[in-house]
Amino acid sequence: MELGSIRTKIEQELSSVKDLSSLNQFRIAILGRKGLFSELIERLKSLDKEERRNYGREINELKLWAEEKVEELKTHFEMEEKRRKELASWIDVTMPGAIPIVGRSHPLTQTLEEIVKIFTSLGFSVAEGPDIEYDYYNFEALNIPKDHPARDMQDTFYVRPGVVLRTHTSPVQIRTMESHLPPVKIIAPGAVYRCDNDISHTPMFHQVEGLMVDKHIRFSDLKGILTVFIHEMFGEKTPLRFRPSYFPFTEPSAEVDIGCVICQGSGCRVCKNTGWLEILGSGMVHPQVFRIVGYDPEEITGFAFGMGVERIAMLKFGIDDIRQFYYNDMRFLSQF
Ligand code: PHE
């Protein structure tokens, strides 16, 4: 074949090569071991010496030219490929980001933190005691005799004889007074356990105990502190009342009710049509309790109170099933 027309043919074919892989195919067909040029060189063998030299030189030149063309195109396609990759990985910094789900405190933690904040602002410090408690601290030292209904097997989880899961935070009163002389002004938040499970009871729930002991502490101090607490917690206008009650470790004792936060006192299902909701137990520390911890009840007086954190959270947030706090359902939790 005429070398001039081979050159034209190569040029034509090269112009239709559009990417690296077709360029590679082309290179193999033209410059490969069994390609066009190998074939042309093979044909030289049949020529005589003079012709072979001239023709051979021309073929070589043409081959060098073709190699150069292929190399040029290769660089071109490689640059193109690189640019395409750069474009694909380009980041648009003006695009709105994906907003991560932000965690938050559990509603019970929020409620507990608020209770603690109110009392610490009133000068109370935070004390703690063990969840697994001696019968002595949970009952005996709190003036709860052996045959008291609160010791019923139905209510108390017994760990072993003489050891229980505390049924209230009141044992922290005893532990604190045993190790501190008056004045004592503490709150004691923590988990408590009772063998109970329904829409308004879980086997584990939380209480905050309060204890203020000194010379000359009176029932009016109890009323004052709890009134401030309730107004801070439920709002300035929340009505409250102290209703006579009984606890073995306080005398006199009172339960505190607040005006129903659901119906504002007009009567509803939540307050059982009374217009009032019980929120805590309280009273003046019983002289017998003082004697047990070695305080002189002739000289020292004080008050104590205990409230359920779940109950307060339910009233504050309008939740009607206590078990909601423990399902860990995100649809519930994300509302707080
Ligand atoms: N411990 C009592 C209860 O669990 C509440 C309470 C605490 C009452 C302190 C009076 C004083 O019901």
DSSP 8-state symbol, 208: E
Ligand 1 pocket residue status of 176, Cβ below 6 Å: no
Ligand 1 pocket residue status of 247, Cβ below 6 Å: yes
Ligand 1 pocket residue status of 143, Cβ below 6 Å: no
Q: How far is the CA of 203 from the centre of ligand 1 (A)?
A: 17
DSSP 8-state symbol, 235: -
Domain range summary for the chain, segments of one domain joined by + = 3-89, 107-333
Q: How far is the CA of 306 from the centre of ligand 1 (A)?
A: 4
Identify the three-state secondary structure at position 84.
helix
**Which residue's structure tokens are 């004691």?**
188
Predicted model pTM:
0.72
- CA 125 to chain centroid: 27
Atom of ligand 1 nearest to the CA of 170: 1
Burial of 262 (0-12, 13-18, 19+ CB in 10 A): middle
Contact assessment for residue 247 and residue 283, using Cβ atoms and an 8 Å cutoff: yes
Query: CA neighbours within 13 Å on the CB side: how many for 182?
Result: 18
**Which residue's structure tokens are 């105990």?**
209
Atom of ligand 1 nearest to the CA of 192: 4
Q: How far is the CA of 67 from the centre of ligand 1 (A)?
A: 97
Q: How far is the CA of 259 from the centre of ligand 1 (A)?
A: 21
Helices (H), the chain: 3-15, 20-31, 36-44, 49-88, 107-121, 135-138, 171-179, 219-234, 287-293, 309-317, 324-327, 330-333
Helices (H), 152-267: 171-179, 219-234
Atom of ligand 1 nearest to the CA of 282: 10
pLDDT tens, per residue, the chain with 336 residues: 578 888 888 889 888 889 989 999 999 989 889 988 888 888 888 888 888 888 888 898 989 999 999 999 999 999 999 999 988 888 888 989 888 888 889 999 999 999 999 999 999 999 999 999 999 999 999 999 888 876 776 689 999 999 999 999 999 999 999 999 999 999 999 999 999 888 888 999 999 999 999 999 999 999 999 999 999 999 999 999 999 999 999 999 999 999 998 888 898 887 889 999 999 999 999 999 999 999 999 999 999 999 999 999 999 998 888 899 999 999 999 898
Provide CB contacts within 8 A for 107, sequence distance 6+.
313, 317, 319, 325, 333, 336
- The CATH number of 107-333 is which of 3.40.50.300, 3.30.450.40, 3.30.930.10, 3.40.50.1220? 3.30.930.10
Ligand 1 pocket residue status of 306, Cβ below 6 Å: yes
Query: CA neighbours within 13 Å on the CB side: how many for 288?
Result: 13
Ligand 1 pocket residue status of 250, Cβ below 6 Å: yes
